[in-house]
Structure 1
């Protein structure tokens, strides 16, 4: 993944790009439509036209439903999402550049940041994770729709401490290697397992076969003043949809039960 971070007239920007497998139409659907984005990011609805409405769901609470707009719609190469006309805030420009070998370059240009360094740094790390999931989605599940379970907690600890709690609670004694098998569980009926396809500081990425085919992530990320600890699953097919609906609350309860004690 290429990353370029710099200054523009409107402030800091995030520039990230990844190479993905797929023809331009398939990749376009993955980055510009509601079902496509939902398969590797967070649940989205998108009106597929310039000026159309969009909603990103970052959690079950009403305040976690973030409304936006399709500011530019140029299929199958360029789309821009923002908060709406005359609304200050972040914008997200996605471009898709096809190659001759059934691959494409996908670029994200994320602009509109203010002076909050913590938000900016956290979003750089977050986008790296999501764009790696985009690569996995297009390599293994292109054209399919995922149902996600995205439990996350915010703990007043360092990211390193958050990872120690998460990994220790799941019985992960040391960081596995790519290609290893990893199985973890919240309880006897709530399991997550598959092949390790990526690791990083306080992160494990999995190609799942349990509880259904899909992708999964264990992470502990700096949220600026707190740490975001996540057990995320993107599951495919009817079996995956049922498992995501069943296991979301169970993993949330497991994370809550492992929250560090506070004074």
Structure 2
């Protein structure tokens, strides 16, 4: 989404999605740590003004995003502010009830800058939210209110985006996957489900709603950063056995990714 800016240097970018559920149900999914962790990344959130919101983008804590809540109006709106470049960024979340059992969810990033240097990055943030919002909609459609188990793995590759992506999805039989296609990858990393999203070549992404190894969804994507390509495999699993299945599957996926994307020798 394009960056909006005024003559004073104030800038904003936003993304929006319609999801099923009541305002309170949707609020629980976007404004509580357990709720956010079901479709985004592992998170904690203190629901009060002055509370802390933490998002863990890497399991080792090396990519934590920490913000302070500056507005708290459940179940309608909250704002979290985080320091960083180009300065403090305020992220506003708004929930509005709609007809037909739906709610709109809108996220707005606001910041101040004296140049356009950061505009492309924040515009990319808005498209990233559109991708994550697909997972939010999937969660609220099929698993509303459930707290399952999730794991996320991230590996770097020195190969170009298209080559690295193909290297990830080819062994899984997903090179030409199309939306609504039922898939059963032939590799040892067996999972079954229906493709909910197949992204374009310049933003490669797959979302698979899973039947096996447990009900849930998988999110695979590739992202170019700093001359490298980073490949992510994220699994959100639900049901009584979700925790034990996630504990079993995570090391298998870690080994599989290391096999296909070995760490370069120093």
What is the TM-score with the length of structure 2 in the denominator? Answer: 0.86
Could you list the per-position Cα deviations for residues 178-203 of structure 1 after superposition, in whole angstroms to 9, with x for gaps in the alignment? 2211123663xx43221111211221
Partner of 1:179: 180
Counterparts of 1:56-135 in structure 2, within 5 Å, are: 56-83=55-82, 88-112=87-111, 115-116=117-118, 119-120=121-122, 122-135=124-137
Distance in 2, matches of 1:225 and 1:139, equals 37
Residues 169 and 258 of structure 1 are in contact (CA less than 8 Å); yes or no, is this contact kept in structure 2? no
The aligned residue for residue 6 of structure 1 is 4
CA gap 1:253/1:123 in 2 versus in 1, 3 angstroms:
farther
2:261 counterpart residue number: 259
Give the superposition deviation at 1:250: 2.3
Deviates more, 1:8-17 or 1:226-235: 8-17
The correspondence of residues 31-42 of structure 1 with structure 2, limited to 5 A, is 31-42=30-41
**How far apart are residue 11 of structure 1 and its match?**
5.2
Q: Secondary structure at the match of 2:49?
A: coil
Q: What is the CA–CA distance in structure 2 between the aligned matches of 1:132 and 1:43, rounded to whole Å? A: 17
Does the 8 Å CA contact 1:118/1:223 hold for their aligned counterparts? no
SS of the residue corresponding to residue 135 of structure 1 reads helix
1:150 is paired with a residue whose SS is strand
Relative to structure 1, the CA distance from residue 193 to residue 110 in structure 2 (aligned partners, 3 Å threshold; closer, same or farther) is farther
RMSD between superposed Cα atoms in Å: 2.5
Change (3 A) 1:257 1:123: farther
Q: Report the Cα offset of residue 261 of structure 1.
A: 8.8
As a proportion of its length, which structure holds more helix?
A: 1
Note the residue ranges of structure 2 that are not aligned, 5 or more in a row: none
By how many angstroms is 1:46 displaced? 0.9
> In 1, distance between residues paired with 2:63 and 2:180?
35
Contact 2:171–2:186 (CA under 8 A) maintained in structure 1: no
What is the match of residue 203 of structure 1?
205
- Would you say the 8 A contact 1:119–1:223 is kept in 2? no
Bigger drift between 30-39 and 153-162 goes to 153-162
How far apart are residue 28 of structure 1 and its match? 0.9
Offset at 1:18?
Answer: 0.4
Alignment partners' CA distance in 1, 2:105 and 2:15: 8
Cα distance change, pair 51–186 in 1 and its aligned pair in 2 (3 A) = farther
CA contact (8 A) 1:122 1:224 kept: no
* Counterparts of 1:113 and 1:224, CA distance in 2: 24
Which of 201, 220, 223 is equivalent to 2:225?
Answer: 223
User: How many pairs align?
Assistant: 256
Checking the alignment, whether the CA contact within 8 Å between 2:2 and 2:123 is kept in structure 1 is: no
Match of 1:28 in 2: 27
Structure 1: runs of 5 or more not aligned: none
Moved more, 47-56 or 239-248: 239-248
1:114-168 deviation per Cα after TM superposition (whole angstroms, max 9, x unaligned):
7346643543342222111001011111111132111111222322122111122
